[in-house]
Amino acid sequence: MAAALVTGCAATGNVAPPAGPVFTLWSPAFADGAQLEQKHAGNVPTNPNCVGQNVAPPLAWTNVPAGTRSFAMLVYDQQGRNGLGVAHWVAYNIPATVTAFADNEISGPSPKYTGGKSTLNLPNYMGPCPPVNTGKHHYVFTVIATDVEPGALPAGLTMQELTERLAGRAKGSSSMVLRYGRP
């Protein structure tokens, strides 16, 4: 999968994979700090702030720490809910053999990960839904390398429950920020 992302990246002229030995999360579609497009915003018909198509961006990670057995991933907006924060995606039990998710792959269930529980109680990615005139929110995408066997953690963990279970089990992490806001 990572090779396909890299090949697609080279063919389209998008963001290149990072160089160097550091564990790094990146997107072939967006540089760190870039603005997400409206199609990446959430889509909830009953919420007027969710005006997108909920297309999750492609993600990849390189230079995995030695001894990694699985990964966990979080997408968090600290500015959401007026500073109380919003967990947009909580996922784990991602096998160490998985080092990428294609465009829109995490917007629904997948055998590649176990869904936790976002702030909206969803097991898969939920795109940004900031209210108008609240500025550009910073969506922090984080991958955590762990020594936990894939499948060892139960479905439905919240972000806090997941981080508590991973205490002492993390091998390393990497984050990138993507921004989104509506005037």
CATH number of the domain at 175, please.
3.90.280.10
What's the CA gap between 104 and 126, in Å, rounded?
Answer: 11
Residue 116 is part of which domain span?
Answer: 2-13+22-180
* Full-model pTM: 0.90
Domain total in the chain: 1
**Between vectors from CA 159 to CA 157 and to CA 164, what angle results, nearest 5°?**
80
What's the CA gap between 150 and 147, in Å, rounded?
Answer: 9
- Dmax (CA) of the chain: 45
What's the CA gap between 72 and 114, in Å, rounded?
Answer: 9
pLDDT in tens, the chain (183 residues): 444 444 344 334 477 777 778 999 999 999 999 999 999 999 988 889 999 999 999 999 999 999 999 999 999 999 999 999 999 999 999 999 999 999 999 999 999 999 999 999 999 999 999 999 999 999 999 999 999 999 999 999 999 999 999 999 999 999 999 999 988
* Tokens standing for residue 3: 């090779």
